[in-house]
Amino acid sequence: MKLVHRNVDKDGEGVIALVPEEPEDMWHAYNLIAEGDCVRASTIRKVQNESSTGSSTSSRIRTTLTIRVEVIDFDTQACMLRLKGRNIEENQYVKMGAYHTLDLEVNRKFSLQKPEWDSVSLERVDTACDPTQNADVGAVVMQEGLAHICLITSSMTLVRAKIDQCIPRKRKGNVQQHEKGLLRFFENVMQGILRHVNFDIVKCIIIASPGFVKDQFYEYMFQQAVKTDNKILLENKGKFMLVHASSGFKHSLKEVLMDPAVISKIADTKASGEVRALESFYTMLQTEPAKAFYGIKHVERATEAQAIETLMISDNLFRVQDVKQRKRYVTLVDSVREFGGDVKIFSSLHVSGEQLDQLTGIAALLRFPMPELEDEDEESDEEK
């Protein structure tokens, strides 16, 4: 994301102009824009013209509109953002108050005006405009006949291709059909990797499967690379990493990313930081439950006691329409930081973010035990 212009006063009111430069930037825009914000961008409007003879013609005209956002629609697969709202600025083609839909596109500037830019929104702008935050991990989770090719960016896990193929079963005395089908499947997965993985950016490509499928595929891929003199694969051989997974479905990524070998390999990516934090939380919940809590009430109590070491919060919570509720979460984040705690805002499009959403979307690791929070829980259960 490119920052074109930023004008925010000390009260938090102001305008920021941005240019999305890649599909992932649309996810950042989706998290920044809330209902009631004003967005200005160029768009195409169908205009009816009536001639002096009474005949009418319609033409499509490019114009710049400012709308007050009422509906936000985000397509995760296409990474497209569609905003619907009323026009709030004089325009020769569109009446004041008329409804219009703006499609935000890659490489097209938009300006966003908010009544209040809070710390979480401003941090999101800084993150989006940081050029180092790109898709630096690729992953292929596979089993015989099924593979998912994913890119793990700092904000989301994108499934770039799904390869689902029927492979004939091994028959007694005749395994040729099975082997032919398997090789055809491997070829399709290899082509998928070449099509969807940008080796200039990606630092590590994880190949995960149950059994020996990953090893067979890896062997096949580099035999083909030598045969066809595929320089891209041969030069990047060191980036591939083979790991065990329980299946070829997307949810297997969770266990793959928790593998210690994978964590050390992708240590400098944001995704691995989230995975590590969540793993520490689950471990603490089992070994020392008085130092691990989830749910807004418990976490707020722990913040008041300046006890939070790591706060994990899902970006889903910041998209609530209720302004008061959003302020509650923003205040919580600011307080934890003020007292020297670490805040990790999880993306709900990551496997780790999906897990956190199942734990109410908010969890915390404490500096010291607070058994009194557990006791409160028991008391409230007894009262019921």
Q: Tell which residue, 139, 157, 156, has the closest CA to residue 148.
A: 139
Identify the burial level of 295 via C-beta atoms within 10 angstroms of its C-beta, where 0-12 means exposed, 13-18 middle and 19 or more buried.
Answer: middle
Cβ atoms of residues 9 and 114 within 8 Å: no
The percent of residues above 90 in pLDDT, for the chain, comes to 49
Query: Where do the structural domains in the chain lie, given as residue ranges?
Result: 2-128, 137-265, 270-383
Q: Which of 184-188, 223-227, 379-383 has the lowest mean pLDDT?
A: 379-383
Name the band, by pLDDT with cuts 50, 70 and 90, for residue 131.
Answer: low
Q: Is domain 137-265 in CATH 3.30.420.60, yes or no?
A: yes
CATH classification number, 2-128, choose in 3.60.15.10, 2.160.10.10, 2.40.160.50, 2.30.30.870:
2.30.30.870
Q: Assign domain 270-383 to a CATH class.
A: alpha beta
User: How confident is the model over 311-351, as pLDDT tens digits?
Assistant: 999 998 998 888 889 899 999 999 999 999 999 999 887 78
Name the band, by pLDDT with cuts 50, 70 and 90, for residue 155.
Answer: low
Say if residue 286's pLDDT is above 60.
yes
User: How many other C-beta atoms lie within 10 A of the C-beta of residue 98?
Assistant: 13
- Tell me what pLDDT residue 382 has: 44
Cβ atoms of residues 134 and 154 within 8 Å: yes
Q: Three-state SS for 171?
A: strand
**CA-CA distance, 42 to 62, in Å (whole number)?**
7
- Tell me what pLDDT residue 270 has: 58
User: How many other C-beta atoms lie within 10 A of the C-beta of residue 208?
Assistant: 27
Mean pLDDT in residue range 104-130: 89
Q: Three-state SS for 351?
A: helix
Cβ-based neighbours of 378, under 8 Å, separated by 6 or more: none
- Tell me what pLDDT residue 132 has: 47
Q: Do domains 137-265 and 270-383 have the same CATH topology?
A: no
Cβ atoms of residues 19 and 120 within 8 Å: no
Q: Taking the model in full, what pTM does it have?
A: 0.64
User: How many other C-beta atoms lie within 10 A of the C-beta of residue 267?
Assistant: 10
Residue 328 is inside which H or E element, if any? helix 323-338
